[in-house]
Every structure is written in C-alpha cells, then in structure tokens.
Amino acid sequence: MYQLESITYVNAASIPFAKVKVDGNTLMVGANGAGKTTVLRSVLYFYGVHEDSALGINIRKKRGFREYYFQESNAFIAYRYTNGYGHILVIAYRSANSGVKFKFVVEQEPIDDKVLFFEDQIARSPDEVWRHLRQMGYEMSETVSTLSEYRDILYGKAGPGWRKYAFFDMKEEHSNFVQVLSNIFINSKLDASSIQKTISNAIPIVDSIDLDQINRTIESFNGRYEDVVKFDENKEVIDAILRALVAYRTIEQEKQAYIDQFLSNQKAFEQKKEQLEKEIANKRASLDDFQKRFAQKKGALESQRNQLRDQTNLLKSDVKKAEKLLKEYQAQDIEKKLELYHAKRDLEREKVHLQKLYDELTDAQRSLKEKFQALREEERANFTAQLQADSDALRKIKDELQTAIEEIDATYEREREAYEKKKQEELLKLEAEAKQADETEKQAYKAYIEMKNRTFFKEELESASKEVAQAKAAYEQAQKAIEKYRAELQQVIKSIEAIEREEALALENLSIRYEHALKAPQEELNRLHSLLSVDDETLLSFIRKVDHPHEATLTTILKEEVLLNTQLNPRLSEITDSIYGIRIDSEELEKSNYSRASIESAIEEVTSQISSIKKRFEEEKSEIEKSFRNRLKEERSRQRQIDEALRVEEIALPKLKNESLKADDNYLELQKRAEQTKEEAVKKQKEALEQASMACQTLKDRVTACKGEIESTLKQLLEKKREKIAELKRKRKSEEQKFQAKEESLRQAYKKRLEEIEKQEYEALQKDGVDVALVENYKRQIDGIDKKLQEIEKISELVQRYIVHKKDHFDQLEEKRLRLHRYQMELDEKSRALQTMQVEYEAQHKELYRSIQASETAYQAICNDLKEVDDPILTELLQKHQKRSVKPTDERLHDLIKHIHAHENQAQKMIDTIRTQQDLLYRDIGASNTLDLSVRYGSDRESVLHAADELKNFVDDGKIDQFKEEISNLFALTINQLSKQTEDLLEARDEVNRVVDKIKLMLRDLEGISVIDMIDLRVQHSPNKILQKLEQLQTVSEEYDFTGRNNLFNHDRSKLDGHYRAIQLIKELRHELDRSGKSELRLDDTYTLEIRAIENGNDTGWQVSLDEVGSNGTDVMIKTIVNVSLLATALGLRHSHNEEDATYFHCILDEIGVLHPTYLKELIAFANAKRIRFLNGAPNQQLVSRFKRIYLLTNKRNKTMIRPLLSQRI
C-alpha cells in the first residue's frame, strides 16, 4: 500500500510538538486561527506543492511557508509514508541562511519521535538528529537541497539510487497532479480555466508557441520588408541623389582642371617672381655701388673739409683762448706784478747786507747764545733718547708678536698641506672613476641615439613601400577610368533626360492645343445631350409629349430659357394662328433646332467633328513619339556601351583595391615589426643608459661630497688660524696705543722746557748790556724785506705763467688771426664742391631708382596675384588636390581662383542637393535600417559624399534585389513555420477532447450524490485573437502554397493577393502580440472549457464559472466533485485492484462547514471510492462516522496544541 501515514511537527510554525496521523479520512476541528490551515498546508507541502501562491499564501500580507514553518534552527516536519520498499521517513528542515532541505530515512524499525527529536526536553539540532539516527543504525539519504529534486525523488523521477524513497513511480509529469491538489485547496470558485490548464498539462509532448520568438521574427521581417518598400517608394529621391552625385563628380573634374592650371601658372609666376627679384636685386646692387662710390668721394671731400674745419676750429679756439687769458691777466694788473717780480734780486741783496750788520751786533752775545743752544741740544738729546728707547721697546714687542703670527701661519700651512695631500689622493681616485663613468655614460647615450635613429628592415620597408605605391597607382588609375566613364554616363543620362523633357514638352503643347480645339465642340455636345434629356416639367418636354403640330414654330420663336423653365405649368388651350394677337408666316419657322431629330443630327455632326480632332491628335502624337524614339534609341545604345565599359572597370576595381589594401597591410605589418624591434632595442639601450647615468651620478655625488668635506675642513683650519692671529693683533694694537700716549706726554714736556730756555736766554742778553734797539731795527728791516720777498713768492707763479703764455699765445696772436681768415676761405670752397657733387648724385640716383620702380611694379603685380593663394578655402582645396602637369598660360591667378570658387560653389550646391535628398530618404530609412545601408551621420561634405557613394554602390551592386530575395525567403519560412506550429497545437487540441471525454465519463457516474443530477464539460473554440490570426495565416498558406521560391516584390497576379493578405495578417498578428503582452501560446489558449450542472432539476446552462450557482453548499459540492474527478483522472492509470499495490491520496479541503452533513457524507464516499481520502478543516465536529481520525486544535499564547479526539476503524 502506498500512502502518507503521519506528520510530526517539531517547533514548526506555532506547533511545539505534535504527531498527526492521516492514514484515513481526517478532520481538523478548531476555531478560527487555531492552526487548521497550517496543518493542511503542510500536507500539501509533502505532495510537492511548494510555491507560496500554490499554498494559498499571500506573501504581501503573510510570511512565506519557509519563513513561517521553519522559524527556529531546530524546527522539523517529519512525514511518514509507505511504498513498495517499506516505511520511509522524510524530514524537512531549514539550515542556516538557506532554503528548506530534506533527508530521507528508511525506517527498518519504528522510531519514537520524541527520542529522535528531543534530548532532555530540548529539541535537537539537525546535525544532532542525523548523528542520533546514525548511532541507531538507520539508513539515510544524502541531503536534498532543492524542492525540484525532492519532487523528482518523491515521484520516481530521480536516478536508480533514489528509487527506494519514491512515494510511487509516476509515468508522466507529476506537476499536473500537484496542480490539481493545489487547485482543490485554494480555489474558492470553480473556474473552467484552472481545469483547462490542468487538462492541457496532461497532454504529453505539446510545445507551446514561443510568442516572443514569433514577435522577434515578425519584427525582423516587418522591419526588413518595410525598409525595402520604403526604398522602392523613394526611387525618385534615390535617382535624384545619384544624378546630383554624378553632376558633382563632373564639376569636381572641371574644378580639378582649373586647380591644375592654377598650380601651373602659380609655379610660372613664382619663377618670374624670382627672376624679377634677381633683376631688382642687381639694380639695387648697382644703386648701392653708385651710392657707395659717391659716399667714398663725398667722404674724402668731407674728410678734407672736416680736417680743415677742425684746424679752423682749433685755431679759432686758440685765438679765443689767448684773448680770454689776456683779458684775465689785464684784469689782475699783471704789469705791476711783473715789475715787482723783477725787483726780487735787489731785495735779496739788501737783505744780505742788513743781515751782516745784524750779525756783527749779535756776535758779543754768541757765547751766551751757544750756552743756551747747548741747553736746547741737551734737552733735544734727552727727548730723542727717551723716545728712541720707548720705540725700541715697542719694536721688540711687535717683532715678538709678528714671530708668533708667522708661526701660526706656518702651522696652518703644514696642517693644510698634510690634509690636502691625504684627501687629494682620495679625490683624484674618485674623479678618475667619475670621469670613466662619465665616458661610459656618453658612450651609452651615443649608442642610445644611434639606436633611436637607426632604421630597421630598411630595405624590406622600401620594397614594401614600392609595392604599395604600385598597387595604389593601379587602383587610382582604375578609379579615374571609372570616374571618366561615370562622367560620360552622366552626360548621356542628361542627354536622355533632355530628350525626354523635350518630348514631354512637345506632347504637352500638343495636348493643350487638342484640349483647346475640343473645348467648343465638347461644350456644344454636352448642351445637345442636355436638350435630349430635359426635365419632364419643362415647356419643351410638354410640347414633345403632346406632339404639338406647331412644335417647330414654338421652339423657334421661344427662348431656350423659356423652353427649359420648369415653373411655367404648360397646358393645352384653343389653338389659333396668332401669338398674343399677332399673326406671322410660320412656314419659314417649321424647321426647328429643338426637335429630337434635329438635336440627334447635330449630335452626330459634333461627334464626327470631335472624332476628327482626336484622329489628328493621335497622328501628330505618333509622329512626335516616333521622332523622339529614334533619338532616345541612339543615346541609350551609347549608354549601354558606357555601362559595359564601366561594369568591366568596376569588376576589376575591388580586386585592385584588395591588392592595394593587402600591400598596405603588408607594409604596415612590416613597419609594425620594425617599430617593435626598434622599440625593444631602444628600450634595452635606454636601460643601459639609465644604469650608466645612475652610476655616473653616484660617483659625481661622491666627488662633490669629498670636495665639500675638504672645503669644510680647510675652512675650519682657516677660522682657527684667523682667531689666533686676531688675538695677537689686538695685543699689538694695545701696545701701540700705550706708546703713542707716552710719546705725546714726552713731546709736551720737551716743548715746555724749550720755552723756559728761550725766556732765560732773553733775560741773560738784557743783563749783559747789548744795544737791543739797534738790533731790533735791523731785525724789523730784515722782516720787512722778508715780507716783500714772501709777497713776490706768492705772485711768482702767476708772473711765470704770464711770461710763458705771453711767449706761447700773446706774442703769436696776430699771426694766428691771419691764418684763421685763410682757413675760413678754404672751408667755404670745399662746401661749394660738396654741394655740386650732391646735385649730380641725386640726378643719377633718380634715374636708377625709376628703373628699379618699374621692375618692382611688375614684381608687385605678380605678388598681388600670388596673394590670392592665401584664401583659406583655396588652401584647403589645394591640400586635397592631386597635382597633374599642364602647360602654363597667361591667365591671371585671380581669374583662375574665381573659376575654382565658382565650381566649388556649384559643387556645394550639388552637395546641398544630395544632403536635402538624403534627409528626405533618411526620414523613411533610418540609421538602424535592415538593408545594411550606411546612413549619413554628419552634415559635412565627406559624410554626404560617403553616404552617397555607399548608396550608389548599393544600387550598382544590385543589393536591393538580394535583400528582396532574402526577405521573400524569410517570408516563406516565417509563414511555413507559423503554419506548422499552429497545426501541431491544433492537433494537440484534439487530444484535449479525448481527455475531457475521460473526465466526462467519470462525471456520468454520480451514484450516491443525491443533490447533483448531472455535471458535464465541453470544449469550445478559443476567442484568442492571436490564435485566430495564426489560423487565418495557416489557411492563406494552404491556399497559396508559399513553399519554394517566392518573390514578394514581383507583380505576378496569381501570388499578389496571397502576398498582400499574408503580410496584412502578419501585421495584425504583430499588433495582437503587442497588445496581449503574452510570451507564449499554450495549448489551453487554443480552446475554452465550459461546465454545466443540473442540481435538483435546475440546469445551470454552460458556464465558465459556477460561483453562486444554487446554495453555497451546492456550489462547494459541485466544485469538489469536479476536482476529485480531475484528481482521479490524473491517477486513474495508477489504480490497482490489488490492495497492496493501491495508492491513496488526499483531497484537502479547508472549511467544509458550509456542507450539509448528508452532502459531505456523499462527497466523502464519492472520493473514497476513487481511493482519495478527505483531509478537511471545520470549526466543529460533524459527520464523525465518515472520518477515521479527528483532531482538536487550540491556540494558547500563540502556541498551537493538537489533541486527538477520535481514532476508529472504518
């Protein structure tokens, strides 16, 4: 027997511990919130209903199953079931930070759940439970980590190693059965759609149609098809672009010719400019030579004049100076001073005589004088001796100090020389090493520069470069030939277009003349026809109806407005031969133009006239068409010849281009290799240079450090020396100051002693009786003479200078004045000669300058013309131009530039035309077009031309025809695939009918159900619009047979309608796909399932849902019967008449309290007959006789307690 026997809860949800047996009909009784639904959901979980939504859990409002049931790390739900191998225990638990996991255990002997899951009243952890089971010797499976693996094991879908744990071996997919279980539990209404999905899932090997893939395929087809259609619709725009492109190429060729002529003339003008430059330079050299010779002559004459002027100025200065000195001497009364100066000798003789008399008087006093003189000498000797002694002592001290200073200097020199000798050896060694390192660095740098300038693979690169040049030349030559043919072709096309325009104009003129000729006859014809079919109420109609005998007279006399008037109300009266009292002869009026015969005759005549005009028109038209046809034939023949030549060149062009690209690639590859090789070698040499530089810098730093150390040490020694010498010098200065103070004291004492001796001498002379008065008289005379001699001494220098000046200046003054007059006359003569020379020079200079000006005018004209080259637009054009050799002409560059600018403007107009037409084209064909047609991304000329060339290549290569063929094939493939998928799905729908028939067969046997007379199901055609479009496409495909070669774009009338209908259906299908938002079309989308029930004679009719049909209990009962039947159908093939092989399942219903006990009893019996046990929840006990087990659930303090109330055998 295969059945779920019991469920054990350990800390699961709000249940601390409980064991619930479910091996028969089981009822859970309890108030709302007691935990009935919690238990029922856990049973569904066992059968594989794992999604929260399928368990009826709204995760927006409640916690999910995993979070609610396994809140604790030691929470378990253990399910016991039996299968062909015996008793199996599967334990669900949740490990840390993971989902729910499972362990299968083969229960050889019954296990006490409390012993297994608890130790000392505390729940074990999962690892402790597994350890306990291993200690008890139970066989356990590996951990099952995913819910899908668990379902596969439970329903026998896992490998052989898991077979013993299978609940039973389900032959088909078990999700159908799981879905039915879920639907029974959670569906509050009986929706045919839920049954429909279950039935659809029961159909084996039915692939749904991938609507996303279809949408993508249709989107791809639609995009490509619409792009091709838009391309065809823009044929005139494309032709305009291509015509403008050809015109642009023609203008460019003419412009290039002007540029070539410009460059040739520019070169000739520049050569002429160089000739003029040389000519002007030669003339300027001649002018410079003339100026130089004139300057030399002028310089010599000016030199003579200047020399004479200098002599004149010098002589004038001497005369002026002499006159000035003479005035100064005269102002000082020089003559008197000269006389006094000449009396000097007489005064000196007189002084000698007086001195002799004075000496004779003072001889008696001589001994006394000598005495006092001796005293003076003694005092002087004492003063000198004392001064000498002090000076000697000072000199001795100085000598000692100088000796000490010299010793200090000698010591410093010895220490310095010793230190320098020691360090110099070290420094020389370091400098030698640094020099060697510097030399190594220089060699490394030289090698680095040589490596940097070296060319690798030079010969190979030159050879490859030649190959590139040859390949490019061949390619360019082919391009030029193509451009030539295209230009010729454009001319032919223009000629054809001109002929066509001329023909159209001629035909238009003919048509205008024809319309003008037809206008009057046609109007007359219309008028006549209107007279034949006049209104019944008009006077004319009345006359015709009554067959008036005077019809002709009346219609002739009366106006047409009167005859056709409908408001006259005509009627017959007495006939007279007068008209308002006037008689006339009517014989002349009996032929009327308004009689039917006359009108018909006139119509024939006018019709004949119109036919004649038309005939003449057709004849003239035929003649015009024939004339132009012959001309067009000749031009088109020429066009075909050029097309053929162009085709040959264009076929050869890609090959030449590939050869050029290949040669270029080879060259670039070789260049790259050379650069890589060079880069590696340079890098290696650079590393060597950096190492040498680093070593050199290190040694240089050491040399600098050593020099710094030497300099610092020597500086310290010098500072010590200077300090010692400074101390000694301070000592010497102190001694000198002492000596000077003592010397000054001695001098003051010596002077004072001499004054005392002089006083003693004067007193002694007076005491001896000498004639002091006479002596004093002589003394005064001598002093007077001395005074004069002193005055003479004062003026002697002035007098002597006057004597010299008189000799040098004053005596020659008159002679100098005469010589100055002569020099002035010679100077005037030289100035006149210079003026004459200047006039002659200016005349010759003017003639030479005019010649230079003439050459410069011609030169400037050329320069002005050449300045036009500085035009930025022209410069840009010249940079892009490939020069060709042409003969120079006399045409000015200015005029050529005007031509170039005019052609450039025309070319720009063509570019603007192309750009405008491209803008029109790109409105329909965007950048993401499926034709691989490049779209212009910029508005500059290169972008416009590139896009135009791409379009021309696209057209010339016939790419559009290739795309049409590909799209046609894609169209046929898409239609056939959709038809095949639709056909397969519709065939599966037939299988649905067979499944529904099985369910209907089971629903016919409602024995034991008293309240329900009949329940029936039926399959209806689906209202799904996507399916309808697919079926319509299948019909069109079968009708027109799109297999084989198809061309969507030809005009085969046998296929045209089918193509149009299919494409229209594809667009409508795309619209429905976008509107629906569905990603797939499943089997249950291909039909609609309806339910019908008869309850106590009341027929519900065919319904999609039976909600609120009859009483609420009846509604629940019908739903349950249908779902039980579905479950029984899903399990029908697995039932066995052998009780040991029988499989029992549960029908899980929550809140069955709305059912009457009688109905519930019938329902349970209906399910048990199909080996389906009821597992239900209710607020109170009911129908105890039909339940094997009843459990009471209570909730206290958020803990659910489960207590068995009833356990009986049924």
pLDDT band at 588 (very low <50, low <70, confident <90, very high): very low
CA distances from 436 to 424, 429, 694, 699, 702 (A): 18, 11, 13, 10, 14
What is the β-pairing status of strands 26-29 and 1172-1178?
Answer: parallel
Strand-pair partners of 21 = 6
Q: Say yes or no to pLDDT of 333 above 70.
A: yes
pTM beyond 0.75, yes or no: no
* pLDDT the model gives residue 647: 78
* pLDDT the model gives residue 804: 82
Question: Cα separation of 604 and 525, whole Å?
Answer: 9
| Per-residue pLDDT tens digits for 1107-1133 | 555 555 666 777 778 878 877 776 664
CA distances from 661 to 208, 466, 553 (A): 51, 14, 99
| Per-residue pLDDT tens digits for 106-138 | 988 888 999 999 998 899 999 999 999 998 889
Q: Say yes or no to pLDDT of 91 above 90.
A: yes
Highest mean predicted confidence (pLDDT) among 111-115, 477-481, 511-515, 682-686: 111-115
* pLDDT the model gives residue 404: 85
| Per-residue pLDDT tens digits for 877-913 | 676 666 777 888 878 877 887 888 888 888 888 888 8
What is the number of residues in the chain?
1210
Please give the DSSP secondary-structure letter assigned to residue 1026.
H
Report the mean per-residue pLDDT for the chain. 79
DSSP string, 372-424: HHHHHHHHHHHHHHHHHHHHHHHHHHHHHHHHHHHHHHHHHHHHHHHHHHHHH
* Average pLDDT, integer, range 1098-1110: 70
What is the β-pairing status of strands 1098-1099 and 1145-1149?
Answer: unpaired
CA 1129, 1135, 1136: angle at the middle one, nearest 5?
Answer: 160
Query: To the nearest whole percent, how much of the chain has pLDDT over 70?
Result: 83
Nearest-10 crossing angle of helices 772-805, 235-331: 140
Q: Say yes or no to pLDDT of 1135 above 60.
A: no
Specify the range with the lowest mean pLDDT, choosing from 92-101, 423-432, 757-766.
757-766
Q: Say yes or no to pLDDT of 7 above 90.
A: yes
Query: To the nearest whole percent, how much of the chain has pLDDT over 90?
Result: 6
Q: Give the three-state DSSP class for 159.
A: coil
* pLDDT the model gives residue 367: 61
pLDDT band at 405 (very low <50, low <70, confident <90, very high): confident
Question: Cα separation of 77 and 1073, whole Å?
Answer: 46
* pLDDT the model gives residue 329: 78
Q: Say yes or no to pLDDT of 866 above 80.
A: no
Better pLDDT: 95 or 520: 520
Highest mean predicted confidence (pLDDT) among 15-29, 581-595, 1139-1153: 15-29
DSSP string, 278-292: HHHHHHHHHHHHHHH
Nearest-10 crossing angle of helices 366-453, 596-767: 160
Of 1030, 1034, 1014, 1012, the closest CA to residue 1022 belongs to 1030
* pLDDT the model gives residue 591: 47
| Per-residue pLDDT tens digits for 202-239 | 565 567 788 878 887 887 778 788 888 888 888 898 89
Question: Cα separation of 6 and 87, whole Å?
Answer: 11
**Which residues are CB-contacts of 485 (< 8 A; sequence separation ≥ 6)?**
642, 645, 646, 649
| Per-residue pLDDT tens digits for 413-435 | 888 788 878 887 887 888 788 88
* Average pLDDT, integer, range 1009-1025: 83
Better pLDDT: 298 or 772: 298
Q: Could you give the domains of the chain? A: 3-190+1106-1207 (3.40.50), 209-232+958-1090 (no CATH), 484-657 (no CATH)
Q: Say yes or no to pLDDT of 1182 above 80.
A: no
CA distances from 1101 to 792, 1017, 1018, 1098, 1114 (A): 175, 11, 12, 9, 15
b (16+ CB within 10 A) / e for 729-757: eeebeebeeebeeeeeeeeeebeebeeeb
Cβ contact 328:801 at 8 Å? no
| Per-residue pLDDT tens digits for 148-163 | 899 889 888 888 888 8
1015 membership: H or E segment, kind and range: strand 1012-1021
Question: Which phi-psi region, left, alpha or beta, contains residue 62 (left: φ > 0; alpha: ψ -120 to 50)?
Answer: beta
